[in-house]
Protein backbone atom coordinates (compact mmCIF):
# COMPACT_ATOMS: atom_id res chain seq x y z
CA UNK A 1 0.00 0.00 0.00
CA UNK A 2 1.05 3.60 -0.31
CA UNK A 3 0.56 6.87 1.51
CA UNK A 4 -2.20 8.97 -0.10
CA UNK A 5 -0.16 12.15 0.54
CA UNK A 6 3.36 11.31 -0.66
CA UNK A 7 2.81 7.99 -2.50
CA UNK A 8 5.60 6.25 -0.57
CA UNK A 9 5.02 2.60 0.40
CA UNK A 10 3.69 2.10 3.94
CA UNK A 11 2.46 -0.76 6.11
CA UNK A 12 -1.08 -0.25 7.32
CA UNK A 13 -1.34 -1.72 10.79
CA UNK A 14 -4.13 -2.15 13.29
CA UNK A 15 -3.48 -0.76 16.77
CA UNK A 16 -4.53 -2.38 20.02
CA UNK A 17 -7.45 0.07 20.05
CA UNK A 18 -8.58 -1.18 16.64
CA UNK A 19 -7.55 1.95 14.73
CA UNK A 20 -5.48 2.02 11.54
CA UNK A 21 -1.91 3.34 11.65
CA UNK A 22 0.49 3.73 8.72
CA UNK A 23 4.12 2.94 9.53
CA UNK A 24 7.21 3.12 7.34
CA UNK A 25 7.98 -0.20 5.66
CA UNK A 26 11.58 -0.41 6.83
CA UNK A 27 12.27 -1.14 10.52
CA UNK A 28 14.00 1.69 12.37
CA UNK A 29 15.79 1.38 15.72
CA UNK A 30 14.74 4.97 16.49
CA UNK A 31 11.07 4.08 15.96
CA UNK A 32 8.51 4.07 18.75
CA UNK A 33 6.00 1.57 17.37
CA UNK A 34 6.38 -2.20 17.73
CA UNK A 35 5.02 -4.02 14.66
CA UNK A 36 4.35 -7.71 14.12
CA UNK A 37 2.17 -9.97 11.99
CA UNK A 38 -0.43 -11.97 13.88
CA UNK A 39 -1.65 -15.50 13.07
CA UNK A 40 -4.13 -14.29 10.44
CA UNK A 41 -1.47 -12.27 8.58
CA UNK A 42 -2.68 -8.88 9.82
CA UNK A 43 -0.04 -6.27 10.67
CA UNK A 44 -0.50 -5.18 14.29
CA UNK A 45 1.17 -2.24 16.04
CA UNK A 46 1.51 -1.10 19.62
CA UNK A 47 3.53 1.28 21.78
CA UNK A 48 6.17 -0.58 23.78
CA UNK A 49 6.28 0.23 27.51
CA UNK A 50 8.59 -0.61 30.39
CA UNK A 51 6.12 -3.27 31.51
CA UNK A 52 5.86 -4.75 28.00
CA UNK A 53 9.03 -4.00 25.99
CA UNK A 54 9.64 -4.98 22.38
CA UNK A 55 9.35 -8.75 21.98
CA UNK A 56 11.62 -10.92 19.83
CA UNK A 57 8.98 -11.24 17.09
CA UNK A 58 8.38 -7.48 16.88
CA UNK A 59 10.33 -4.83 15.01
CA UNK A 60 10.43 -1.12 15.75
CA UNK A 61 9.07 1.16 13.03
CA UNK A 62 8.39 4.87 12.79
CA UNK A 63 4.82 6.04 12.26
CA UNK A 64 4.64 7.34 8.71
CA UNK A 65 3.08 10.61 9.80
CA UNK A 66 6.44 11.47 11.43
CA UNK A 67 8.39 11.03 8.19
CA UNK A 68 5.86 11.91 5.47
CA UNK A 69 7.09 14.79 3.28
CA UNK A 70 3.56 15.39 1.95
CA UNK A 71 1.23 18.14 3.13
CA UNK A 72 0.31 18.09 6.79
CA UNK A 73 -3.08 16.54 7.61
CA UNK A 74 -5.83 19.03 8.30
CA UNK A 75 -6.34 18.28 12.00
CA UNK A 76 -6.34 21.95 12.93
CA UNK A 77 -9.96 22.74 12.27
CA UNK A 78 -11.30 26.07 13.44
CA UNK A 79 -13.16 26.06 16.72
CA UNK A 80 -16.94 26.08 16.51
CA UNK A 81 -18.48 29.48 16.87
CA UNK A 82 -21.42 29.84 19.23
CA UNK A 83 -24.49 30.53 17.13
CA UNK A 84 -26.98 33.20 18.10
CA UNK A 85 -30.34 32.11 19.50
CA UNK A 86 -32.74 30.86 16.83
CA UNK A 87 -29.99 29.88 14.35
CA UNK A 88 -29.53 26.19 13.51
CA UNK A 89 -26.21 24.62 12.51
CA UNK A 90 -26.87 22.44 9.48
CA UNK A 91 -23.28 21.28 8.90
CA UNK A 92 -23.97 17.88 10.51
CA UNK A 93 -26.90 17.39 8.11
CA UNK A 94 -24.70 18.33 5.15
CA UNK A 95 -21.98 15.87 6.22
CA UNK A 96 -24.55 13.03 6.44
CA UNK A 97 -26.01 14.01 3.05
CA UNK A 98 -22.53 13.74 1.52
CA UNK A 99 -21.94 10.36 3.16
CA UNK A 100 -19.39 11.60 5.70
CA UNK A 101 -19.49 10.76 9.42
Tens digits of per-residue pLDDT, 6-40? 889 999 999 989 999 999 999 999 999 999 999 99
Mean pLDDT value across residues 60-81: 77
What is the rounded CA–CA span in Å between residue 12 and residue 2?
9
Give the C-alpha separation, 26 to 31, whole Å.
10
Starting at the edge strand that comes first in sequence, how are the strands of the sheet with 43-46 ordered? Answer: 20-24, 10-15, 43-46, 33-37, 59-61
- Let me know: does 48 contact 34? Beta carbons within 8 Å: yes
Of 21, 92, 26, the C-alpha closest to 60 is 26
N-term to C-term CA, the chain = 24
The string of pLDDT tens digits covering residues 44-53 is 999 999 999 9
Short-list 16, 19, 21, CA closest to 49: 16
Q: What is the pTM of this model?
A: 0.66
- Going by pLDDT thresholds of 50, 70 and 90, the confidence category of residue 75 is low
Amino acid sequence: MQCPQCRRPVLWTTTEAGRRLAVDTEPDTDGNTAVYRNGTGTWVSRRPTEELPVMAWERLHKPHVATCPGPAPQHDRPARVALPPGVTDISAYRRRARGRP
